[in-house]
Amino acid sequence: MGKHEKLLEHKGYTGSVEYSDEDGIFFGKVQFIRALISYEGSNAEELRKDFHDGVDDYLAMCKEKNITPEQPFKGSFNVRVGRDLHRQIAIEAARRGVSLNSLIVAALEKETHHAS
């Protein structure tokens, strides 16, 4: 029971929340980007503030250096489904008269609405 995980959100960035019984601190890092932005705090408010400060500092540094900040999500990703499933969903999309992409987006939207 050393860790419990949740998520923080700030300016489109998502951060993990973990707790270390051993150290008595909350800590985390920004997820879904390569840049390492980590933060910590002795309570939830300190953790949230350090997370916000970390994201804000990262964005300010990018602006100062005239570089584009990493965006967590591009809107496209590769999924490996195997040949049989690929064939089945391509046939189903054709049967419905929609693109393969549209069929998959609809399925993902349906799945995430049920999960929330």
The pLDDT tens digits of the residues spanning 17-74 come to 999 999 999 999 999 999 999 999 999 999 999 999 999 999 999 999 999 999 998 8
- Say if 70 falls within a structural domain: no
Token pair recorded at residue 103: 């069929």
Predicted structure pTM score = 0.73
Average predicted confidence (pLDDT) for the chain: 92
Q: Which residue has the tokens 């990262």?
A: 58
- The fraction of the chain above a pLDDT of 90, given in percent, is 85
- Say if 20 falls within a structural domain: yes
Shared-domain flag, residues 60 and 16: yes
Range of the domain at 47: 6-64
Rg (CA), the chain: 20
- Say if 32 falls within a structural domain: yes
Supply φ then ψ for residue 68, to 5 degrees.
-80, 125
Per-residue pLDDT, 1? 39
Alpha-carbon gap, residue 36 to 58, rounded angstroms: 10
User: With 60 as the cut, is the pLDDT of residue 115 above it?
Assistant: no
